[in-house]
Structure 1
Amino acid sequence: MFIDRARIHVVSGNGGNGMSSWRREKFVPKGGPSGGDGGRGGDVILIVDANTNTLIDFRYKRKFVANNGVNGQTKNMHGQHAEHTYIKVPPGTLVKDADTGEVVADLTKVSQQAVIVKGGRGGRGNARFVNSVNRAPTFSENGAPGAERFLQLELKLLADVGLVGYPSVGKSSIISVVSAAKPEVAAYHFTTLTPVLGVVSLDEGHSFVLADIPGLIEGANEGIGLGHDFLRHIERTKVILHVLDVSGLEGRDPIEDYNKINNELKLYNEKLATRPQLIVANKMDLAEAQENYPRVAEHMKKLGYELYPVSAATGEGLPELMQQTAKLLLEHVEVPEEAEGTIVYEAKQEEDFTIGRDTDGAFLIRGRGIERLVAMTNFDNDEGVRRFQQLFKRIGIESALKEKGVQEGNTVRIGEMEFEFRT
């Protein structure tokens, strides 16, 4: 089964907690602090795998959770870092944030990686807080919590050439003749419901990947039928083979078909309308096609295109068409895509905090930095609480709360912690 879209949930590992301990060797008087640091939590990383060609695995597993870092130990022994969690995806996978729609990564090359969520750093042991003022700190840090996000994965086939056209114009028959691909072929619409890839090998030793894109219909750009599911796979192709049923036996005019399909491509993505095209007149083994051919060829000539007559049934004209396709590919100049609107994941900078009011009137403080500080503070340790209070004042939260009108005894919430304001 070919699956080209999936939604997954990824969670990075928490950092290990730092240790608070003391040296207790027999002949070491006044042994100092010896608590080790916690290990870093595991990242979640997407990696392109050459042996994966669909997103079907994500139908059965949709949540990926990295391991937590190991807690620090006594005698200054640091906890082990957690191994990263790697998720294999096929080449051509576009990764979006499911909540915002922002593009996180575009994975097109084998072994390419993208760090999606980073693991939390390990908490520091009490040995790390020794200074000239405090020679015997009793507190340590908890590990920083990991991050999580929902992702929308979209697979866009990496094919050099795409076959487009109305249903039943003979695209599947063409790809079955020129490559080793064996799509289902029958005399009814939408026989092909998923894209089919085939490798075309030429006498000169050159080859290219040809994709049979399922038949488009009018309104495909608006998602009618399976429009968006099909059009997505044309975006990465370098050359388009536009196949027409010149016989007109389906009761449609091939010129109208050409105009409608091109209009669908343009409405979906204007760049597709400028993609190099070869116009293919299929079913030339039929008398009706030979009768219509001069009229269609004349129309294409006015548009600046040459019409290539072929017959998928007899194979006539297909070798010449493949040679011309290969020539067009060699002449193709790759135009780099604009980076505008594309966001590649980077570790976020510590953001400023914001102060609002909760539904019950409590003061609600939000901010990645302050929420992480709360999560990493051990509130069971008096010295750790005093350090938190100092940092609370140093980063300006206390003065900001006073500006917002906080009063003695008011409730203040940060993350999952709740405090009573005291000066």
Structure 2
Amino acid sequence: MAVPGIFKKYNEVSLIKRILVGLVIGIILALIIPGNEVITLLGSLFVGALKAVAPILVFFLVISALCNAKTAGNMGMVVVLYVVSTLVAAIVALVGSELFPSVLTLDTSSMVEQAAPEGIGEVLTTLLMNIVSNPVDALINANYVGILAWAIMLGIALRVAGGQTKEVFANIADAVSKVVRWIINLAPFGILGLVYTSVSTSGIEIFSEYGHLIAVLVACMVVIALGTNPLIVWICTRKNPYPLVLRCLKDSGLTAFFTRSSAANIPVNMELCRKLGLNEDNYSVSIPLGATINMAGAAVTITVMTMAACQTIGLSVDPVTALILCVLAAVSACGASGVAGGSLLLIPMCCALFGIGNDIAMQVVGIGFIIGVIQDSCETGLNSSSDVLFTATAEYRQMIREGKEVRMGHDAFSADELS
């Protein structure tokens, strides 16, 4: 079979199946021939590629998102719900991480000894100095706080630019995202190397760490899906939120769980909104918008993984710094890449808040890809189902204020009655 044919066959197999195969092969090889440098190199190359592309991805993704952002019309309430729920998700993840800390096995041989920040003053000073860092230097040294700050300023400044200029940045962001997809497409080989190295060094017991981390992540997402999100809906409507919550999880969340793509689930969400009788002029804007900025699941992943990095190297996190982490996680989650595992590439940005180097942060990202078979599916299911949930909540809230009848989660009215 020719080389192009082999690549075609390889790409026809789903990424989840390829990652599982790489995981199993890595374990078997570690038990049979531990200490092989060539196999270990696969993991090092994968982490190195991620370290190289992540700063560029964040920089151009944020610039493109801001300069090309369209106004949401009367979708102000929906946007507020998206942002609030994402911030609440980060707070839930922070609490979960504090209650059930995760300690990972990482290679810290190249790490400069890290001391905990001495109070909020030192944290804010470091944060502000990173913000005003030279943008080229920020990109070279993976200073994600500086990258984010300059990207935001340039993105806002470019909003007045011409359409062709904006299109250039959109094309660059798409091109960098495509490169990320190429790298992630090779994740099975990288994960093979990472798992091989972990099992060779620490034994099969390493998977108890991963199991604990998955449990914390999934538990936080369940609390958000069945706890905080319904609470937000109830605050807005003062009606029992669970019929709507459960319908969104059943009709949207399950599909998104298996497709692992919020963008691919947009048609499913549009159809669910139509069945719920929502105003098409509203949901035709809010659903695509939600697939981009409504990222509660990503906020959970970024926060839990960042806290795991801190807990692994023994950094204590004071309450004010923890709040800054939640805000930064929520902001970075809103800019998460549309590719599978895209939220993982934003973990170094939050790690930088605590002075955790790129070498350590990218090892955490690598572990994220290992557990991503479960984590990314749950994350996408939560993100996508919330798009419909909060679109409906905003519309139901308006209807209640106008004195109209609302039956939460049922086909109680037609689009014509709402027009």
Query: What's the TM-score once normalised by structure 2's chain length?
Result: 0.20
Query: What's the TM-score once normalised by structure 1's chain length?
Result: 0.20
- Specify the structure having the higher radius of gyration (Cα): 1
Task: Say which structure, 1 or 2, has more relative contact order (CA 8 Å, 6+ apart).
Answer: 2
Larger % of strand: which? 1
Larger % of helix: which? 2
